[in-house]
């Protein structure tokens, strides 16, 4: 027995040594670059222009009849007045009446263009009385521009325009064509805006070298557990979405003579079965890539399990699943959001309906989600049907080519201590419409956020700091400079 225990102990020591050695041997996926020259900016003037943009309530409503066309036209006039060099130096086109495309012709037409996207529209501002500053006042206070759209997405739009205006003022002429695309209906799906811009590219045979849109950003040090540096997350894919209706049917009747089970009861059983059997998940796909980029930069104790996922995959997945935000990166998620049944309290429902929204992990489709849900809730008189066609997840963009390398290198030049890692976008962006014209679609805004900032887009007290805005201008300017050449993978 003693010999067996000694052998077991030696085996455990050898295993631990192998795990540590594997962790220590992880090669860094980061790119070492010199700092970009720091351009001087008039921060206060740039902030005033973002504040002015916020004051124009370019709201996308679900009801198309409520679309404020006049506010978008005023926004276009404001762009023209605010960025005169941009409008003189770039070709401007209007798509679907209100979306804008600006083309900055490069000197070498053999180079595929780069595309910078942002959207003009914002969501409505609920509960304005709860805001520290009125949502469309565009106030500057405490080092922030406050208001709806400051982050989502007028901050990026203004930063792009400021970068181009500044480059033109300094006499910069790109070698590679740069295209700016500003859709007007991203918040309601982008069907008339970005989708039509992408269709125009396809019709003209334009195959961009890469497309960059909003999506992910830079998280402050400590935001991610065990990560003591800022983490710059570049979205390389986004989840899909589908809404299903789970419908339980029954004969109905008067509530004074109820059967043993009603349609409402059958629906409750279906919901219970659905929530008790979540979609399978784990550390794979895009999330595994994220860990591959993060792991070499972590302290050894945190690095060991990530470097040895063959052994720690199950506990890592179980631990990550406890956090709703991280769990959403691991699997297709289920959210029952609406219920309906009888029209009157003493009437048994002939139909009880649950509406459930699913955010679809790459690898699944809207149809495979419906099939699994139908199998999970299978019961007599229970049907699962599409409430809308849904949208499948985007393709996953490559991280091993020059396009991602260009973004990574530019982040390193401006945000010196940030760890760059690919990531998965949980929501939808205009960028998904461009997958048909380029495999290199990325989602990154060059702004740094802490935990409180993540609730502000679409929420209360949306704001963007003046420091963030200035760094965003510097990043876009440097990106255009770097992209101007025939970039190579670092």
pLDDT tens track for 172-189: 999 999 999 999 999 999
Q: Is the pLDDT of residue 443 over 60?
A: yes
Tens digit of pLDDT for each residue in 412-423? 999 999 999 999
User: For the domain with range 240-386, which CATH number is right: 2.60.40.2470, 3.30.70.360, 3.30.70.260, 3.90.230.10?
Assistant: 3.30.70.360
- DSSP 8-state assignment for residue 300: H
Check pLDDT > 70 for residue 461.
yes
Choose the catalytic residue: 153, 186, 292, 413: 186
**Range in 30-44, 131-145, 319-333, 432-446 with the lowest mean pLDDT:** 319-333
Over the Cα atoms of the chain, what is R_g? 25
Higher pLDDT: 370 or 313? It is: 370
Find the mean pLDDT for residues 125-151: 97
Q: Give 188-207 pLDDT, tens digit per residue.
A: 999 999 999 999 999 999 99
Give the pLDDT score at 201: 98
Sheet arrangement for strand 333-340: 333-340, 351-360, 240-249, 382-386
Separation in Å, CA 375 to CA 150, 221, 390: 44, 43, 19
Q: Give, rounded to a whole angstrom, the gap between the first and last alpha carbons of the chain.
A: 56
What are the two backbone dihedrals, phi and then psi, of residue 34, each rounded to the nearest 5 degrees? -70, 160
Position 319 confidence tier, pLDDT thresholds 50, 70, 90: confident
Q: Is 121 a catalytic residue?
A: yes
Decide yes or no: CATH 1.10.260.40 for domain 43-223+395-484: no
What are 443's two structure tokens? Answer: 């989602």
Choice among 121, 152, 364, 462 that is catalytic: 121
Q: How confident is the model at residue 331 (pLDDT cuts 50, 70, 90)?
A: very high
Distances (CA, A) of 255 to 147, 338, 349, 381: 50, 23, 9, 20
User: Is residue 242 very low, low, confident or very high in pLDDT (cuts 50, 70, 90)?
Assistant: very high
Share of the chain above pLDDT 70, in %: 98
Collapse the DSSP code of 186 into the 3-class scheme (helix H, G, I; strand E, B; otherwise coil) and give the result: helix
User: For residue 88, which of 31, 164, 153, 11 has the smallest C-alpha distance?
Assistant: 164
pLDDT tens digit string along 252-302? 999 999 998 899 999 999 999 999 999 998 888 999 999 999 999 999 888
User: Residue 241: what are its φ and ψ, rounded to 5°?
Assistant: -150, 140
Which of 239-243, 305-309, 310-314, 391-395 is predicted with the least confidence, judged by mean pLDDT?
310-314
Nearest Cα to Cα of residue 181 among 423, 441, 463, 452: 441
Beta bridge partners of 233: 421
Q: How far is CA 39 from the centre of its chain?
A: 28
Q: Where in the chain are the domains? A: 43-223+395-484, 240-386
Question: Mean pLDDT, to the nearest integer, of 37-60?
Answer: 96
pLDDT at 226: 79
Task: Look at residue 489 in the predicted model and tell me its pLDDT.
Answer: 39
Give the position of tokens 């495309």. 101
Specify the pLDDT at position 487.
Answer: 63
- Collapse the DSSP code of 136 into the 3-class scheme (helix H, G, I; strand E, B; otherwise coil) and give the result: coil
Asked whether the predicted pLDDT for residue 303 surpasses 80, the reply is yes
């Amino acid at each position: 027995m003693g010999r067996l225990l000694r052998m077991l102990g030696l085996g455990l020591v050898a295993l631990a040594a192998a795990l540590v050695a594997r962790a220590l041997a992880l090669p860094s996926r980061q790119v070492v670059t010199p700092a970009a020259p720091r351009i001087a900016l008039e921060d206060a003037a740039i902030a005033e222009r973002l504040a002015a943009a916020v004051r124009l309530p370019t709201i996308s409503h679900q009801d198309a009849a409520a679309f404020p066309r006049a506010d978008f036209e005023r926004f276009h006039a404001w762009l023209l007045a605010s960025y005169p060099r941009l409008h003189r130096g770039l070709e401007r086109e209007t798509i679907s009446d209100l979306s804008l495309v600006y083309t900055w012709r490069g000197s070498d037409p053999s180079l595929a263009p780069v595309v910078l996207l942002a959207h003009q529209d914002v969501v409505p501002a609920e509960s304005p009385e709860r805001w520290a500053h009125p949502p469309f006042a565009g106030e500057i206070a405490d080092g922030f521009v406050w208001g709806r759209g400051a982050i989502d997405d007028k901050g990026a739009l203004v930063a792009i325009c400021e970068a181009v205006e500044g480059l033109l003022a300094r006499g910069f002429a790109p070698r590679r064509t740069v295209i700016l695309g500003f859709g007007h209906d991203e918040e309601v799906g982008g069907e008339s805006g970005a989708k039509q811009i992408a269709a125009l590219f396809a019709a003209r045979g334009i195959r961009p070298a890469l497309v960059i849109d909003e999506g992910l950003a830079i998280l402050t040090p400590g935001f991610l557990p065990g990560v003591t540096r800022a983490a710059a997350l570049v979205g390389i894919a986004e989840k899909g979405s589908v809404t299903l209706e789970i419908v339980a049917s029954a004969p109905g009747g008067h509530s004074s003579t109820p059967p043993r089970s009603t349609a409402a009861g059958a629906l409750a059983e279906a919901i219970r079965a659905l929530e008790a059997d979540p979609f399978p998940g784990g550390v794979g796909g895009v999330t595994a890539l994220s860990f591959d980029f993060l792991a070499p930069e972590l302290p050894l104790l945190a690095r060991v399990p990530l470097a040895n996922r063959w052994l720690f995959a199950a506990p890592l997945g179980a631990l990550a699943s406890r956090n709703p935000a991280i769990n959403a990166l691991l699997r297709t998620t289920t959210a029952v959001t609406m219920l309906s049944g009888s029209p009157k309290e003493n009437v048994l429902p002939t139909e009880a309906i649950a509406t459930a929204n699913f955010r679809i992990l790459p690898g699944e489709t809207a149809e495979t989600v419906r099939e699994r849900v139908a199998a999970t809730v299978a019961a007599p008189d229970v049907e699962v049907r599409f409430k809308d066609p849904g949208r499948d997840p985007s393709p996953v963009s490559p991280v091993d080519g020059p396009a991602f390398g260009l973004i990574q290198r530019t982040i390193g030049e401006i945000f010196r201590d940030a760890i760059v890692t690919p990531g998965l976008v949980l929501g939808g962006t205009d960028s998904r419409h461009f997958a048909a014209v380029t495999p290199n679609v990325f989602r990154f805004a060059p702004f740094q956020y802490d935990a409180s900032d993540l609730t502000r887009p679409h929420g209360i007290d949306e704001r963007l700091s003046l420091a963030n805005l200035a760094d965003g201008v510097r990043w876009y300017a440097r990106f255009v400079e770097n992209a101007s050449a025939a970039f190579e993978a670092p």
